[in-house]
Structure 1
Amino acid sequence: MDRLSNINPFARRDSHSTGSVVTYKILTVLTWLLSVVASVYFSFDNKYIGHHHHRRTIWDHNYFYWSGFTQNYIISSIYWLTIFILQIGYVAHLFSSKVETVNAACSVGSHFIANNLLHASWVLLFVNRHFVWSEIILLINFVNLTTLYFRHNAYPRFIHLPAVSGPLAWTFVAIYWNGAIMVPHQNSLVARIFANIFVWSILGYGLFFIIVYKDYTMGFALSVLSASLGVAQFHRQIVAFQWIFAFTIMAVLFVMTVIVAVPAWTGRDVPWGRRATTVDSERAPLLADQ
């Protein structure tokens, strides 16, 4: 069992060897660059593919295959640009002179590398209209990031947000977005009714992390993505429930996020749960009460 744990790159470890740290540094940087380049290139490349003349950008498909989960490309692009910039900070933790900081970054490293590879794969499959396979990739990455979250939800927010909660929030919403595109007649009445129902899962998902883990980063990430959904739906059809639901979800998540974040930033207790025994302005907001 110990031998298997040593081989398994996703096994929980309190410390890492010099060779492992070097490997994490190289693979993290390379896979992060792959993820960024694929995302940026296929967001702006306007070349046509195939005899159907469908453009091969993420956002062209977003609007061409309109559904109840179509997003606003500006807000979602800003979201991902912010995540990528913050991930530079995460990568910098691997090069820190503090051993505990390096170990914390390495502990999420295998999942982060897997996320980068899966995200780049999703981009390539999505822009080439292999929507079933791209949905499978999202589901695999959702399992990967969910496992990461429940194993490592108490690290400093400068590791947690870019490497854990930010990508996880996106993957959860993208499963619905990609899934809606995958099914036939994605803009039919039946499809929109299902979208009106399933959109509320974003609220339930966000409230779970806010209430149970007091994780304001997840609440804020999902509120931004809900805003992206609401803006896109409003521009498409003013008389509709979907944008009203999306903005309602955004508002509730944002208010709950503020309720958790403000006490955390000021060193006070969150207004529910038992009082924590210690307060760390960087770590306490992301710790579940014991």
Structure 2
Amino acid sequence: MRAHDRSRSLMPSLDEERLQVALRQCALRSPATGADATAFERLRRESAEILPRLARDLAEGTWRPGPPTLTHVSTYTGKQLEFWLPPVLDQVVHRAVRNAVDRITETRVLRDWVSGYRPGRSRVTTLRHAARLHARGLRAVADVEAAPAGEARLEEVVGWLTPYIRDDAFLTVLRTALSVFPDPTAPGTTLAPMLVNLRLSRCDTALDGPHMIRFGRTYLAFTTDHGEAERAFTVIAEALHTRGLQPHPGSRVRTAVNVEDLLLNGR
């Protein structure tokens, strides 16, 4: 794409105005992400000087991220997870990139039955959807979680977006942002949840159906009986295998399921 071709470019999504929006979003979420709220406050005070320079570096292809910090977080089950925390300015870039990509994935990529890591589609959305299916007599469920995959190659990850984004400059920013992590899909960045949905969206295409739900990494196929649920389990597992993924060992068929118990498996 030529530098002056702005009609299809996503680079305006990384201009000073949108970086300012991303900064406000990051500052609001800093307690949840483990980021240093005071660092964001300092960045906000100096944003009139820093953000124009950052926008210029992004537009000219000279922006380089800093090294992330490895931390650990505990899940509600007490499990310790590695969590890569980028420098605060890099988090702003990640958020702006995510905002641009989300506008595309919401309209062109993700199915209506997919929730999690999406605006307005939370665990509550999933449980409400599940309750409607359960009320129709679909009480046997294939509960399949995609196991965390091994390290993904950087170009493989960027390739998940190339069917939808042809802007080389924007893809270069994404590639550069992810290049400092030992695994481009490593948890901790604002980009990681987006990449989970992009990776699994390739499996979703083989699983479209009125009785299917996905929340994050977990697929729920609602059926009438155990045998049908077993067959649905096999179909989901095959879709994962096709994309180099596999079910988590804790995945199983649930019969006479209680909707409120879904997504509380502690895997």
Higher helix share: 1
Higher strand share: 2
Q: TM-score, normalised by structure 2?
A: 0.37
Structure with the bigger RCO (C-alpha within 8 Å, sep 6+) is 2
